[in-house]
Structure 1
Amino acid sequence: MTAYKPITAARTFPGSARDDFARAYPDQPAKLHHALTGHELLTIPAIAELAERMPASSVEYNLGKLPLGIRAEDTPSNGLTLDETIRTIETNGSWAVLKNVERDPAYGALLDQALEELAPLVARATGPMLNREAFLFLTSPGSVTPFHMDPEHNILLQIMGEKVMTVFPAGDEELVPAIKSESFHAGGHRNLEWREHFRGRGTAFTLRPGEAIHVPVKAPHFVENGPAVSISLSVTWRSERSVAESELHGLNALLRRRGLPVTRIGTQPERQRARRLAYRVMRKLGA
């Protein structure tokens, strides 16, 4: 295993990026800048070495030229091993993600360095950062990440190559029906049903090396890769707000199954304490 140098104390996000983030967080997408381009941990050889150390359950890879809307069970395999996928990513037409890379000490330090710079800004808006995680994405030229949503607060940092992420408003129930949110928070897949008339509701952000984007919790999005291999680092966290939303959707799922009226989830779900407590009690009682 390569012995990497200690991470320097240089900032990941310059002051202007932190200002832009503070104005947008937690509800709006925002283009940011970062200083991790060229970092030795974020090259294809380093990522291939990391993948060899990771459990199979922490890696997902498949063919990358997909339609915007596809069911998880219909995603085609690329027929390669993980090592082959990473080392030939330029020509094999694939997409790969290494999950929870923060469990590796060097990558954990990289994540902590990045998020510590934003932690005071996050705390003022949604409380302390919870459950910090990091994900690495490698994408072949022309690949597509289908229309989906994620449960975390997320910043995607573009390291190599170029991609376009189209982000849609969170909370639009035509894009994400309430029943889909309920199943998603119960462990359902992130992929969403795509309809072409949705396209006009999204905002397209072109990401080049040194650029990043803040994606709000559950803001639907899809990603189209450019003509070169892409490497992206996603740094994520949860908050009391995101946890509260998950709990309230869980409560609504229980109520819906019993034919009872569901609760309205407000813009600050962390304040709906009585409903959250009711959900926890119902779960404890096996409801």
Structure 2
Amino acid sequence: MFDVGALAQFATAYPAQPAVLAHSANEHPLFSLPRLTILAGSLPRRCVELRSADTGAEEKDPTPPALLVQALSARDDVMSLREIGHDEEYAQWLSETVRPFVPFLRGVTGANVSVDGEIVLCSPDVATQWPSEGEGRIWMQCRGQSTAALGTRTFELGEGEAIFAPKGEDLTVTAGNQLGIAVVLSWPDDEAEGAPGHGSLLSLLWRKIKSKR
């Protein structure tokens, strides 16, 4: 998913500096809306989280997750698909994507490198605020455009671009005027600061950014 050039950029920036990295996940069929609809319908319900962008509250919508995915473009919500390894194809993709990063991460996290992968689907003009909790993160934009903010710095992300957000920096990503689809990789950058899954997307604060068009 990340070529030699992108890995070299990451190696130079990690662990303290942000970096925009090119990737090819946007071309992968696993991140097409039809395939994500199948994934959402097959995951245990506890792995599918829907939050209202207006209130930030988790929604207990009885609508089947597969139908919610198809309706997100007309809603004001953020959906998180967690523990994607329940699906063998996504588990294999995650393993292959993370593998090249392991040598770089091991120098900071120690021998036991644990990288979580989640898929985030954002309704248009919705932002996700991700307070830093001692984790390194890579937001991989797969569908749509978005604006990532780290402090006062902003980065425009198109399909096939990712942002590495160092630990200690709060990350906010605002979707453009179309449905946004992204993969988020995260890992504790200090083993003492958390077990696998620490700081997952359950801890995100959600809010809606009104379009200024």
Give distance in 2, aligned partners of 1:31 and 1:237.
18
Query: Cα distance, 1:42 vs. partner?
Result: 0.7
Contact 1:85 / 1:92 at 8 angstroms: preserved in 2?
no
Please name the residue that 1:152 is paired with.
Answer: 135
Give distance in 1, aligned partners of 2:165 and 2:50.
22
Give distance in 2, aligned partners of 1:54 and 1:134.
14
Report the residue type matching 1:95 in the other structure: V
Please name the residue that 1:47 is paired with.
Answer: 36
Using a 3 Å threshold, how does the CA distance of structure 1 residues 131 and 103 change in structure 2: closer, same or farther? farther
Query: Cα distance, 1:142 vs. partner?
Result: 0.7
Give distance in 2, aligned partners of 1:211 and 1:134.
17
Please name the residue that 2:92 is paired with.
Answer: 109
Aligned counterpart in structure 2 of residue 135 of structure 1, from 96, 102, 118 = 118
Query: Cα distance, 1:112 vs. partner?
Result: 1.0
Secondary structure at the aligned position of 1:31 is classed as strand
Give distance in 1, aligned partners of 2:86 and 2:168.
24
Contact 1:151 / 1:217 at 8 angstroms: preserved in 2?
yes
Report the TM-score, using the length of structure 1 for normalisation: 0.62
Contact 1:60 / 1:98 at 8 angstroms: preserved in 2?
yes
Q: Which moved more, 1:229-238 or 1:119-128?
A: 119-128
Contact 2:115 / 2:187 at 8 angstroms: preserved in 1?
yes
Is residue 21 of structure 2 the alignment partner of residue 32 of structure 1? Answer: yes
Query: Cα distance, 1:38 vs. partner?
Result: 2.2
What are the equivalent positions in structure 2 for 1:114-263 lying under 5 Å apart?
A: 114-128=97-111, 130-146=113-129, 148-168=131-151, 202-238=152-188, 241-246=189-194
Contact 2:9 / 2:19 at 8 angstroms: preserved in 1?
yes
Give distance in 1, aligned partners of 2:45 and 2:132.
23
Give distance in 2, aligned partners of 1:80 and 1:230.
23
Q: Higher strand share goes to which structure? A: 2
Aligned counterpart in structure 2 of residue 60 of structure 1, from 49, 63, 68 = 49
**Percentage identity across paired residues of the two chains:** 25
Report the TM-score, using the length of structure 2 for normalisation: 0.81
Please name the residue that 1:269 is paired with.
Answer: none
Please name the residue that 2:73 is paired with.
Answer: 90
- Which of the two has higher C-alpha Rg? 1
Give distance in 2, aligned partners of 1:113 and 1:33.
16
Using a 3 Å threshold, how does the CA distance of structure 1 residues 167 and 129 change in structure 2: closer, same or farther? farther
Please name the residue that 1:267 is paired with.
Answer: none
Using a 3 Å threshold, how does the CA distance of structure 1 residues 85 and 78 change in structure 2: closer, same or farther? farther
Superimposed CA distance per residue, residues 105-125 of structure 1 (whole angstroms, 9 cap, x where no aligned partner): 211111111111121222344
Give distance in 1, aligned partners of 2:82 and 2:145.
21
Is residue 7 of structure 2 the alignment partner of residue 18 of structure 1? Answer: yes
Give distance in 2, aligned partners of 1:15 and 1:161.
25
Query: Cα distance, 1:229 vs. partner?
Result: 0.9
Report the residue type matching 2:74 in the other structure: T
Aligned positions, number: 194
